[in-house]
Structure 1
Amino acid sequence: MSLYIVELVVFIISVFFAGLITAGEIALSSFGENKIDELKERGDNIWQKFQIVHKNPEPYYGTIHLLYLIFIISSVVFGFLLSAKLINPDITEPTVGFYDNSFRLIISFVLTIVTIASLLTIFSYLIPKALGFKYSNFLGRIFVVTLIPVSKLFIVPARLLNKISDIILLPFKERTNFAQTKPSEDEILDIIADGVKSGAIDEKEEEIIQNIIEFNDLKAGEVMVPRTEMISIDINESDETLLKGIILKGHTLIPVYEDSIDNIVGILHSKDVIKLLIESGSISSIKNLIRPAYFIPETKLISEILTEMQQRGERLAIVSDEYGGTEGVITIEDILEEIVGEIKNDSITEQKEYYKFPDNKYFVLGSMQITDFNEVFNLSLPESDEYNTIAGFIAEQSGKILSLNETVEYENVKFELIKKIRQKMVQFKIYSEVKEFKEK
């Protein structure tokens, strides 16, 4: 019985220290340059110890990994011995038949592996990881003070293992790195989620950080305003018609096409038109104000587009398909909205929630209230505690967030999504092909 107690004590100690090292490593890694500088400015002398580890992390993280490995091996060995005896105390008895004993040994082995793996995962990784994030300041201080002297005992074995590993990695042209590796995107998101739970980060900050992480993967075709919703004017129109179009459309930058929207000839800046009117009092040469258009492929990453726009001084780009046709348009504002969310225009005192297209279809904001929509269009969309906007109604009806240009039909009325920011359905085109659809 005394042997059981010894094995149990060693197992518990091993699991505890393995978990402590996991929590300590996470806490230690949270002390970057900025945090160390803050400690220094406050006159907290502990900054010097963090600086020692930060300047030369290899021996210290090497010590962390070696100690963790030692305690994990110890946990597995003593855990196996302990649980095997507890599960099957007669396993070593000679009176048991060979085949019967072998079968019982296999069962015991499987149960032991499952038990040990579960305990180590919970108590040596999951719980310590959560505590390491939550109490990083407290644990980091204790851990760094202990780690520096302990690491002196492991410098030689850490360097020896490092050299052996470097030799093995020679064909791959890589080197061993004991230091903390850069976290993956998923790990960063986990850290942010923990920060939200603890109250250190608010939900808006979490959204912006998530958007930044996903930003590099987005392409122009996912962000652009599609050609069907582009605001543009025909160069063949008279100067008076062009001026009227510029005023009515209310945009600063307007693509100009000739004969077909697939043939974009340039961009008209409303400020150039205003300047012309002020200086000459004439609108006879508006077409001379058209500037060259900036074209990009729909597969181009928006991170690259943003950089190019900054370098070129462009605010609007025409998105082209593989055949040179016009797919849509993208502005710097569209790109920035992918990071910070929808940007409201302060120059517009009140944004109208709906308006009519020339083809008798209606543009409606996803944020329009169901009650207002029913009143305006004399319809009876069902109301619910689960939603109160058009976007919420569509999500409830379809059971998902629609893709761009996807349509949902309800009682012969079609709702086509024409603008989407991340997972937010922003604008819809609404119409009916079988009955008259109009506002009251």
Structure 2
Amino acid sequence: MSFLVQHPLFLSAFSPELLLGVFGIILLLFSSALISGSEVAFFSLGYSDVKKLEDSNTVADRAIISLKEKPRKLLATILISNNFINIAIVILSDFVLRSAFPDETFDQWATTLLGLFTVPTAEQTEFWGRLLSFLITIAGVTFLLVLFGEVAPKVYARINNLQLARLMSRPLDIMMRLFHPVSNILVRSTNIMERRLAGAGNGNSPSRAEIDEAIELTVSQEKGAGRDIDILKSIVKFGDVTVKQIMRSRVDVVAVDFRMDYKELLEIIKEAGYSRIPVYENDFDNVTGILYVKDLLGHLDEPADFEWQELIRPDVYYVPEAKKINDLLKEFQVERLHMAIVVDEYGGSSGIVTLEDIMEEIIGEIKDEFDDEIEVVYKKIDDFNYLFEGKTLLNDVCRIIGIDTNTFDEVKGEADSLAGLILEIKGYMPKTDAEITQGAYRFKVVTVSKRRIEQILLTLPKN
């Protein structure tokens, strides 16, 4: 019993410095857990969580929204704070370990271990004693940090992200202000590295053909792979498609004049079968509003002089031809719209584009129980010959004959229709029966009017 009382570990157990050091380690571990968990808590908040925070409008919730508006700076602050705390834990742990176990203790352990194999010298005993001290410190601190400072708090934060984010919103806001100079340098240096890495990686980025080949290799063994492959390829090129490539040109748009009488309007609506009709004044270049057919349901028995113009909605949305359809889809979602008027570079109306047109670029043709006519008019003569209308969009042509939609990109110029492709290649209006060869594909002008090419015969290569 007297030996135990006189042992250095027992004597140091009641040392104020040692007790203070152990308490400091526990406090720092708790702080590390909170900060590590806050990383998961903040960056796992979903749309519904953010909406809930915006509606509650408390001080803590406003602080969370403010922090999430600067994600890079928030992450930098969390990492800097966590590193400082972890360094403090390592230093304090080394102090506690050396206070509890003097160097002589490790030298004795080293002598005992080395004595199993050989008679150690003083230098060997000192070296292995220091190594044992270092390994025990590192192993112990690593275990504590990983278990109590990383794994456990992040598991908890994943389940209780909103509560932990509210708890840590104010402390993180203070730390963000405190570490602003350091975090600012870290964020800027990260941006510089990203730009350089992005620039260096441009030459190694996969081409569209390589991505398409990878999709085919990945999906080709699955049942119903053809449909899945087409959808995946459409998603890959979705961001490169412009409004002009999918819009309905003005010659095919069903629109009504502002001065039209009600009976004539109903006949046009019944024949067209659309739920939204653009309304113009004088000509289609001056679209004044959109008429929603559902607004007419309570007025079907009105006389011809019924003032249906009062039902026109003036929320006309204009988009340029060059706008990417992925950006337009986001705008449709934000504005809650389904139709936009497409304008050319001179401000004239060149057509319309709808939400359905955008979705069809990914999932293909959308048909409902009211669609009787085929959107793309063509005739398949045999496996190698197709008869198309000249106004058919190139994207639709490529999709129908089963080739990549970028097949004619090098020669199509600004053309988006099959007739436009022929005009771009020839440079003038061809005559009937004129034949044009482009690569492995042959085009024959079947019918042509004074103003446009009406029908084109497309012949595919035999292989």
Decide which structure has greater helix share: 2
TM-score range, shorter chain: 0.3 to 0.5
Larger radius of gyration: 2
TM-score, scaled relative to structure 2: 0.41
